[in-house]
Amino acid sequence: MLALVDCNNFFCSVERVFSPGLWNKPLCVAGGNDGIIVALTQEAKDLGLKRGDAVFKVRELIEKHNVKLFSTNMPLYASMSKRIVSILKKSFASVENYSIDESFCYLDGYESLVSLEKYMREIVQKIALYTDIPVSVGIAPTKTLAKVANKFAKKYKAYNSVCVIDTEEKRRKALSLFSLEDVWGVGKHSLKRLNDYGVFTTMSFADKTEAWVKNKFNLPIVNVWKELNGEPCIEISEHIYKQSICTSRTFGKMLHAYDDLKSAVVAFASSSARKLRQQNSVTKAITVFVSSNRFREDLPMYINSYTEYLACESADTLEIVNASISALERIYKEDIFYKKAGVILSDISKDNVMEYSLFDNVDKKQDRKILMDTIDYINKRYGTQKIHLGIEGGANQLWIPKSDNRSKNYLTDINDILTIKI
DNA sequence: TCTGGGGTCCTAGGACCC
DNA sequence: TCTGGGGTCCTAGGACCC
């Protein structure tokens, strides 16, 4: 058995922790550039707002009902996420941190507990006590069934935050009430194909024979089918480090001049390099992509990318930045208004298996390593961007996305710590 | 005026080998 | 009419996830 612990409306709940007056009010969190809604509370959903709505299209609705709108504040959410994961890690031997707001806890060895359900409920209370974040728990023999159970725990108050699928009877009951499009791993495309074959409900899909499913679908859907029938197929995530690292932004305004675009790309490359070093990894491939505004039909459309390969692995900001500049030089075109760009690092491995080039000056490598460590140390201690490359530009970088409604960094910046008056 | 940012896994098909 | 048979590795792009 395993338990999926999932935070309710995570981004919104974190904002509410620091604005307690908002617990029963409608609130939304917008994505980068305050472009689209990425998270919203039940109260906001009840007003007709949806995840993915373009903010400018629903502005009227938001103002009419006095919906509180926040810009994304990832450092705040990441810090809160860490606190919740650390509570789980103290309670279970094996925890897989699946996403910023979800973790799988493996319950092998915990079966002897009088009641798993009761134990999980205590953890829910502990998380609420320590962090104020409401979470829901789904317990089942497979990840996909735990996802199903979790949805029930969220949807129906009577479960009191914890739902268990541990018998065949409960499994069949849950699947007959569960919408096929909500099944983990069934996307738009697969849903349509299933519908075309006359399969419209989760139960009828699970009740198909294995031969039928294998004959018509590829591995991912076959695995979903097995998991719905109680056979675990999705392993514990093996990757202890990311296999690709991306930093990309939609710009606050369109960029035209090469130098402006270059500052953005350099900043993204530099940020990706920092993330790379954080997980003690090195990269060999640096991809830069640029794009015009895909919604502007009156302007020329342009999307392109180029990948530079390093002679040998590196986590050195200067090397990665240089590679990204030469990639940008290959794809930059004049007469284009750029709206988005990004830098992707791939071909990543652990830095302890790093190769050195026969033609490299070893001293230089060591010096660079010390330089990077020092920069990371200073930026960690005194704030990101305290030390950065000159070509990233100053404080008025043109590419910086809009985020007018961003909350403070209550948990990660000493200057933003809340003052409580008693 | 304004339409996000980050990941993973799988597969088909090309390039290459004997 | 016939035009080998069998592999491996790599990559771009699709599908899906939060």
- Structural tokens at position A198: 């006359």
Residue A71: partners with Cβ closer than 8 Å, 6 or more residues away:
A29, A30, A34, A402, A403, A404, A405, A406
Nucleotides of chain C within 7 Å of a protein C-beta?
Answer: 12, 14-18
**Tell me, in Å, how far CA of A245 is from C1' of B17?**
34
- Structural tokens at position A163: 């739902």
Does the C-beta of A188 come within 7 A of strand C?
A: yes
A373, A301 in Cβ contact below 8 A? Answer: no
pLDDT value, residue A359: 67
- Report how far residue A311's alpha carbon sits from residue A12's, in angstroms, rounded to the nearest whole number: 45
How far, in whole angstroms, is CA A39 from its chain's centroid?
12
pLDDT value, residue A126: 98
Does the C-beta of A222 come within 7 A of strand C?
A: no
**Tell me, in Å, how far CA of A44 is from C1' of B2?**
21
Helix (H, G, I), strand (E, B) or coil at A39: strand
Burial of A353 per CB tally in 10 Å (0-12, 13-18, 19+): exposed
- Report how far residue A171's alpha carbon sits from residue A140's, in angstroms, rounded to the nearest whole number: 9
pLDDT value, residue A110: 84
A361, A369 in Cβ contact below 8 A? Answer: no
pLDDT value, residue A240: 79
Nucleotides of chain B within 7 Å of a protein C-beta?
Answer: 1-12
- Report how far residue A329's alpha carbon sits from residue A15's, in angstroms, rounded to the nearest whole number: 41
In a structure prediction context, what are the per-residue pLDDT tens digits for chain A, which is 422 residues long? 999 999 999 999 999 999 999 999 999 999 999 999 999 999 999 999 999 999 999 999 999 999 999 999 999 999 999 999 999 999 999 999 999 999 999 998 887 777 999 999 999 999 999 999 999 999 999 999 999 999 999 999 999 999 999 999 999 999 999 999 999 999 999 999 999 999 999 999 999 999 999 999 999 999 999 999 999 998 877 667 999 999 999 999 999 999 999 999 999 999 999 999 999 999 999 999 999 998 988 899 999 999 999 988 899 999 999 999 999 999 999 999 999 999 999 999 988 766 666 666 656 667 888 999 999 999 988 877 889 999 887 767 889 999 999 999 999 888 898 888 88
Task: Enter the DSSP assignment of A54.
Answer: B
DSSP string, A187-211: -HHHHHHHHHTT--BHHHHHTS-HH
- Structural tokens at position A67: 């919906």
pLDDT value, residue A87: 97
pLDDT value, residue A311: 85
- Residues near strand B (C-beta below 7 A) are A 31-33, 35-36, 38, 52, 54, 56-57, 218-220, 237-239, 242-250, 254, 275, 293, 295-296, 339-340, 342, 401
**Tell me, in Å, how far CA of A186 is from C1' of B11?**
17
- Report how far residue A391's alpha carbon sits from residue A263's, in angstroms, rounded to the nearest whole number: 6
Closest CA to A19 of A407, A415, A422, A409: A407
- Structural tokens at position A240: 């202890």
| Residue appearing with tokens 């030390």 | A387
pLDDT value, residue A368: 86
- Report how far residue A10's alpha carbon sits from residue A174's, in angstroms, rounded to the nearest whole number: 25
Q: What is the pLDDT of residues A33-84, one digit of tens each?
A: 999 999 999 999 999 999 999 999 999 999 999 999 999 999 999 999 999 9
| Residue appearing with tokens 């629903």 | A58
Q: Which residue is nearest to nucleotide B6 (CA to C1')?
A: A246
List of long-range contacts for A220-228, beta carbons under 8 Å, 24+ apart = A220/A185, A221/A185, A221/A186, A221/A190, A223/A185, A224/A144, A224/A183, A224/A184, A224/A185, A224/A186, A226/A142, A227/A142, A227/A143, A227/A144, A227/A145, A227/A185, A228/A142, A228/A144, A228/A145, A228/A148, A228/A175, A228/A183, A228/A202
